[in-house]
């Protein structure tokens, strides 16, 4: 990393002295706490990497906090991690309606960053030393702290560089939050390591994102499907916005065919899908443009081992569906203070059980078919929601959809669909069912289709199915 290189541009301007700021913050952290963990509650931008580096300089563990969570969950995470000091700024405290009971705010606007920085010897950190605790919402219950070591993060950044040939000439446009694993590794650590540049904006505003892409000649853009959809619908900007783009990557949830087609038609850019989990630091697969295949998330990155496993533990050949299991230097050390949960997610060969279903083709390209817990069993047949959702999303009135299972005494389960419509569209459940029957076998056609003004989503835009389940009696 070059100390005075402009590697970060955010809504407040350019950052050229990130290391200098980090030294000042490190001194303040040392004065504030003697605990092992430090919370980071910051808007997306240049303050986050400075605070992250400062935390590591003091030998402490960073706990990025999702400011979109409830106060109850934020309080739980701070207490569970053992942190007391939370590095933050006033507007973030206002956003969460003040600090929770366990938070001791270290407000950065109260620090003086001028003068000679308090340079000291940074704490030495080994590959196995804990670097961050990233709390995942999981499928149920309390958030779990994913333990990622310095070696995990170093390995994943190195894997990405080797796979996609990033260097100091790359400019990454960051719209994902930095408390999220993709925002942390791909859009914060990666540009620092290669001495490139990251352009960040705290709010996803399509016009602003397109302007930034054009202004900074962005070479890589990582987003979720709903963001690509919004950019395609924007009235502003065209192919000139992404003239120098090498990579447009979609992750977090399956990329609908209609979204991919609309973006390519509008901007002349083909979106490639990637795959990863918080527990894998996160990137494990990436479909490079030169290897693009429809719905593939690509081959495994260097040093990542993957296998498809049947319920009985057999490793399956290409073309067969099973659970995706992963092993490599980027895989987490476990869940914080949850040894039993940790033991459950690793098999006897040390592979991490992802809970995702997928299959390989003959050339080693991975295709995600669904979540094990989301899979429906209808009259003995395995049905994945994505297949039904893809059909619904092709209807001109449907903006997005989500399918869950409804208990049925004769079939076991039947599909139930929720749809979010385009502005001005008319909801007609019967017409949507007829649309599905034209493509799907009868048992996959939703028994009922319901309209929601907006599908429930998490901070990265992924649909939260358990929120849909909670609306239906008898669904857990």
pLDDT 10s digits, 306-326: 999 999 999 999 999 999 999
Average pLDDT over the chain reads 92
pLDDT at residue 462 in the model? 80
pLDDT at residue 113 in the model? 80
Whether 435 contacts 395, CB under 8 Å: yes
Give residue-wise pLDDT tens across range 57-111. 999 999 999 998 889 999 999 999 999 999 999 999 999 999 999 999 999 999 9
- pLDDT of residue 474 exceeding 80: no
Choice between 343 and 410, residue whose per-residue pLDDT is larger: 343
Q: Where in the chain is the domain with CATH 3.40.50.980?
A: 8-124
The CATH number of domain 8-124 is 3.90.79.10: no
How far apart, in whole angstroms, are the C-alpha atoms of residue 215 and residue 218?
A: 8
Question: Which of 138-142, 172-176, 284-288, 407-411 is predicted least confidently?
Answer: 138-142
Choice between 363 and 114, residue whose per-residue pLDDT is larger: 363
- pLDDT of residue 470 exceeding 70: no
pLDDT at residue 475 in the model? 43
Give residue-wise pLDDT tens across range 244-302. 999 999 998 889 888 999 999 999 999 999 999 999 999 999 999 999 999 999 999 99
User: Residues 406-434: what's their mean pLDDT?
Assistant: 93
pLDDT band with cut points at 50, 70 and 90 for residue 122: confident
b (16+ CB within 10 A) / e for 58-97: bebbbbbbbbebeeebbbbbbebbbbbbbbbbeebbeebe
* Residue whose entry in the numeric block shows the structure tokens 């993957």: 306
Instruction: List C-alpha distances in Å: 122 to 4, 25, 30, 54, 417.
Output: 18, 13, 12, 9, 53
- pLDDT of residue 193 exceeding 90: yes
pLDDT at residue 139 in the model? 45
Instruction: List C-alpha distances in Å: 271 to 249, 350, 403.
Output: 6, 33, 24
pLDDT at residue 252 in the model? 83
- pLDDT of residue 2 exceeding 70: no
pLDDT at residue 350 in the model? 97
The 37-41 sheet, strands edge to edge: 104-107, 85-88, 37-41, 61-64, 130-136, 144-149, 334-335
The CATH number of domain 375-469 is 3.40.50.300: no
pLDDT at residue 4 in the model? 52
pTM: 0.87
Q: Where in the chain is the domain with CATH 3.30.300.30?
A: 375-469
User: Residues 15-21: what's their mean pLDDT?
Assistant: 86
pLDDT at residue 6 in the model? 65
Instruction: Please give the share of the chain, as a percent, with pLDDT higher than 70.
Output: 96
User: Residues 351-375: what's their mean pLDDT?
Assistant: 94
- pLDDT of residue 467 exceeding 90: no
- pLDDT of residue 234 exceeding 80: yes
- pLDDT of residue 421 exceeding 80: yes
Residue 466, H or E segment: helix 465-469
């Amino acid at each position: 990393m070059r100390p005075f290189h402009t590697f970060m541009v955010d809504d407040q301007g350019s950052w050229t002295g990130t290391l200098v700021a980090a030294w000042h913050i490190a001194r303040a952290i040392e004065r504030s706490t003697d605990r092992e963990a430090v919370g980071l509650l910051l808007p997306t931008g240049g303050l986050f990497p400075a605070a992250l580096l400062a935390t590591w300089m003091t030998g402490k563990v960073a706990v990025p906090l999702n400011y979109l969570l409830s106060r109850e969950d934020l309080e739980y995470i701070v207490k569970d991690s053992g942190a007391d000091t939370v590095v933050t700024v006033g507007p973030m405290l206002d956003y969460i309606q003040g600090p929770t009971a366990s938070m001791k705010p270290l407000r950065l606007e109260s620090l003086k960053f001028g003068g000679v920085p308090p340079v000291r010897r940074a704490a030495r950190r080994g590959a196995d030393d804990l670097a961050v605790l990233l709390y995942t919402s999981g499928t149920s219950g309390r958030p779990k702290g994913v333990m990622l070591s310095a070696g995990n993060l170093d390995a994943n950044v190195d894997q990405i560089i080797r796979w996609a040939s990033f260097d100091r000439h790359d400019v990454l446009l960051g719209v994902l939050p930095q408390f999220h694993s993709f925002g942390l590794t791909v859009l914060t650590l990666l540009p620092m390591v290669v001495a490139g540049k990251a352009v960040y904006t705290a709010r996803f505003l399509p016009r602003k994102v397109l302007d930034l892409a054009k202004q900074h000649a962005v070479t890589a853009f990582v987003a979720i499907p709903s963001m690509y959809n919004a950019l395609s619908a924007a009235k502003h900007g065209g192919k000139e916005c992404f003239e120098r783009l090498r990579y447009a990557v979609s992750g977090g949830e399956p990329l609908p065919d209609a979204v991919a087609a609309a973006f390519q038609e509008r901007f002349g850019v083909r979106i490639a899908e990637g795959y990863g989990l918080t527990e894998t630091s996160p990137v494990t697969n990436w479909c490079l443009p030169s290897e693009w295949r429809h719905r593939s998330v690509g081959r495994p990155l260097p040093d990542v081992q993957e296998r498809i496993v049947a319920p009985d533990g057999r490793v399956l050949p290409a073309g067969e569906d099973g659970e995706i299991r992963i092993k490599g230097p980027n895989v987490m050390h476990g869940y914080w203070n949850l040894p039993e949960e940790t033991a459950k997610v690793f098999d006897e060969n040390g592979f991490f059980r992802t809970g995702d279903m997928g299959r390989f083709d003959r050339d080693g390209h991975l295709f995600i078919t669904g979540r094990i817990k989301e899979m429906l069993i209808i009259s003995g047949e395995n049905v994945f929601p994505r297949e039904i959702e893809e059909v619904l999303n092709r209807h001109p009135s449907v903006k997005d959809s989500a399918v869950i299972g409804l208990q049925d005494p004769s079939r076991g389960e039947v599909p139930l669909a929720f749809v979010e419509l385009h502005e001005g569209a008319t909801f007609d459940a019967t017409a949507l069912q007829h649309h599905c029957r034209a493509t799907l076998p009868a048992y996959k056609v939703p028994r009922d289709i319901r309209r929601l003004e907006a599908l429930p989503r998490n901070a990265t835009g992924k649909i939260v199915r358990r929120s849909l389940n909670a609306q239906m009696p008898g669904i857990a």
